[in-house]
Chains A and B, each alone.
Chain A
């Protein structure tokens, strides 16, 4: 048992190290740090300008922190979920090493999860910079003394695990599709951005589309993050106002467990199909 755990940890750790090297060693640390924050800051700035143009700079309205925080924490969706699924395509099509990893004595899903850690770290840095910029320059109403830290860390940790499990499901699907390059992760992240109420309350969506948002765990995760950081002001939006924090945590936990089970089952299915169809070392040169 101890040997298995050690072996699993070693695979995870080596994958983490490898992922970090792949992500970061193409340039010097300063340029890498700048690169890591420019994209998320630019995304946030687009929303800030859009909001500022329409409202004449009323950044104290409750909707602004709703949009800003949702967008900031959504960086994790792109980095963790897409990062894990991207490892399959990167190893198979670009580095062409997936077949070697498959024959090595590692559990492949632990390796993929490890590959996602580098992007998680980069994402965390970007989220921090985005939020600190919001507090400093746009007076985002986050007071460290009033933040519900236990709720924040509980929901943040659970959310990251949930995103990793979603990423694992996408990685499993990526095993079977050779022609779509990086589009699957982006498509799912884009759809979740639209339907999870990340940057606008779900009430703005047409009524027939709202149920899609209610089955997405990210909807509950972002609501918990906002509640923990902003406190009472989030109640201005009725979407999930009838749920207590505890209930939201329960829903998030339940959905995460559901996705975890799905990730393991889909791995068995996709892995078996990919081996049968000879897709493990399939390259398209796209």
Chain B
């Protein structure tokens, strides 16, 4: 499967990234060689094999629905200057 410059632009948009024009050309070339390497997987027969998502056979652990952590909003919000009255500020969303 080949990939072109507009694919790279589409993927950038999906993953909320931006690339400069010269970066796009470099990425395109590197992505093509990465995809070629990944392509090797196609030669293996995997009919009937169950996909493995996780290394250990574990069931999702559940716990009682109790509040365990305390509200530390003030501390958490120290990692940005852009807060007001306990809220985070972002650029205008609704016109």
Partners in one complex: no
